Structure 1
Amino acid sequence: MRPPLRIAVLECDTPVDKVKAKFGTYGDVFKLLLETSASTVKGLDARSDLVISKWDIVNGTEYPKLKDIDAILLTGSKHDSFADVPWIHKLVEFTQEVYAQDRVRMIGICFGHQIIGRALGVPVGRSDIGWEIAVCDINLTEKGKQLFGKEKLSLQQMHRDIVAVYPKEVIALGSSPRCAVQGMYIPGKLITVQGHPEFNGEIMSELLTLRNKQGIFSDEQFNEAIKRADIVHDGIAVGAAFLRFLLED
């Protein structure tokens, strides 16, 4: 695929108020990640080679036309990827439509990673182990090491839902003690990660603080995770891997 790369960000949630006020919608957050990552990819110019559009698919009904884009990026979300609700059913159906054709490619992050798993027919749901939060290490497969250019990956995490098993079609990219399915890959079709390459320490700290106040995270969970919220992670390397995936012939 040659630039310009036309990437449609399917916004599957709205950031919490303080995050939205400073960083914008999740489409804006991913635009920043991809433009920053583009500076590390040879031959790619963030100013002219990325055309990023945003689509609110929770509150809106319109989806991009496949003829007008080269890729879709499914964001994270507070919603359950396994929920039996109309907008999620529509998202799964659209994801299956994209998967069935051979040109438009897919990138999935956290909830988006799980939606792609669901669209490919494997179970998604609550983990028996519980939450994985803040910066955590991911053990990479050989393909994961090749794609991300790392021996091990560190990413922000914010999930207790998982893809239970790898779909038979995909190549496994990595695992962690709390999540066996950390990333999926099919050349020319899709790449996903369970973690959040787009989150910085400020976003993570705000989410941890808010969810501690809401009683979602205990004080013990919060105190342990907040220490890791600002650890340097490999989000830019993951963003670069996404872009290289889109450039693959």
Structure 2
Amino acid sequence: MGSESSPAPIRLAILEADTPVPGVQAKYGSYGGVFTHLFERACASLSPKPQPLTSVLRLSAHDIVNDLEAYPDPETIDAVLISGSKYSAYEDEEWIVRLVRYTRRCLEGGRVRVVGVCFGHQIVGRALGADVARNVRGWELSVTQCELSDEGKKIFGVEKLAIHQMHRDAVFSLPPGAVALARTDVCAIQSMYVPRRYLTVQGHPEFTADMVTEILEMRRYGGILGQDVFEDGMRRVSDKQDGVVVAQAFLRFLRE
């Protein structure tokens, strides 16, 4: 039984909307493993008392791209985290449409909380009727400085936020009732929040310099990134970034 001093672990389902690049896959398996690594670091640096991950979260991972039946029953979980993806949240592939429908069901149900990361941030926007599209300002990638709103400073507990980015799609309008927490010149809606309902970020708190280096190199060789864009990203790939800060904000949100 949980108590006031030690509540039961939160049942968080990680909805895997992509497969990691080969080096990341070799080290962590799926994106469930990548986010487990992030939350382990977040729990280990909780203040004033570090905690083991298993006392804070009970994680499960679900491959929603390749298994349309992989979704957890909302009655058996407390929250979902929708991962990033190389796909676009505004496309109408069957698995994306199903994800939008499931996300809307969770949000409308009022009990299951939703965390969205990059593609997941955009899926939450789409599920709530926001405008999601390709950004004519182009790519935003590698460690990027975000300007926080007053509410954003409270939620993340810092004055400014540096976070890995890897996107050229964006959310262009706030859903009804949402509070914008962060912005950049390239992408004005970097984070959306409704208390006890959802918290999203356009960036990638789970990414590390090694991960982003591999993604940048693969996308350069694949012709997706031009040389100038690639070099710009590589210049900032090892900059200090606040992924653990964001993960701790996710934990606080899940406990609201």
TM normalised by structure 2 equals 0.94
Q: Indicate the RMSD between aligned Cα atoms, in angstroms.
A: 1.2
List structure 1 runs of 4+ shifted beyond 2 angstroms. Answer: 39-45
Q: Which moved more, 1:151-160 or 1:39-48?
A: 39-48
Confirm whether residue 10 of structure 1 aligns to residue 23 of structure 2.
no
Superposed displacement of residue 194, structure 1: 0.1
| Paired residues of 1:35 and 1:50 also in contact (CA < 8 A) | no
Q: Distance in 2 between matches of 1:47 and 1:76?
A: 24
Confirm whether residue 49 of structure 1 aligns to residue 56 of structure 2.
yes
The 5-angstrom pairing of residues 213-228 of structure 1 reads 213-228=221-236
Confirm whether residue 231 of structure 1 aligns to residue 239 of structure 2.
yes
1:37 aligned partner:
42
Q: Distance in 2 between matches of 1:171 and 1:232?
A: 26
Among residues 230, 243, 248, which one is paired with 1:240 in the alignment?
Answer: 248
Superposed displacement of residue 41, structure 1: 3.0
| Paired residues of 1:144 and 1:173 also in contact (CA < 8 A) | yes
Q: Secondary structure at the match of 1:173?
A: strand
1:139 aligned partner:
147
Unaligned runs of 5+ in 2: none
Confirm whether residue 127 of structure 1 aligns to residue 135 of structure 2.
yes
Q: Secondary structure at the match of 2:190?
A: strand
Q: Distance in 2 between matches of 1:3 and 1:36?
A: 20
Q: Secondary structure at the match of 1:28?
A: helix
Aligned positions, number: 248
Q: Distance in 1 between matches of 2:134 and 2:193?
A: 22
| Paired residues of 1:41 and 1:244 also in contact (CA < 8 A) | no
Q: Distance in 2 between matches of 1:23 and 1:53?
A: 14
Superposed displacement of residue 45, structure 1: 3.5
2:205 aligned partner:
197
Superposed displacement of residue 221, structure 1: 1.0
Confirm whether residue 99 of structure 1 aligns to residue 97 of structure 2.
no
1:183 aligned partner:
191
Report Cα offsets for 1:46-100 as digits up to 9, x if no partner.
Answer: 1322110000000012210111111000000000100011111100000000011
1:26 aligned partner:
31
Superposed displacement of residue 38, structure 1: 1.5
Q: Distance in 1 between matches of 2:242 and 2:120?
A: 19
Unaligned runs of 5+ in 1: none
Q: Distance in 2 between matches of 1:40 and 1:241?
A: 12
Q: Distance in 1 between matches of 2:46 and 2:78?
A: 18
Q: Secondary structure at the match of 2:32?
A: helix
Q: Distance in 2 between matches of 1:38 and 1:160?
A: 31
Superposed displacement of residue 13, structure 1: 0.2
Among residues 73, 80, 84, which one is paired with 2:88 in the alignment?
Answer: 80
Q: Secondary structure at the match of 1:233?
A: coil
Q: Secondary structure at the match of 2:236?
A: coil
Superposed displacement of residue 39, structure 1: 2.3
The percentage of counterpart residues that share the same residue type is 44
Superposed displacement of residue 23, structure 1: 2.4
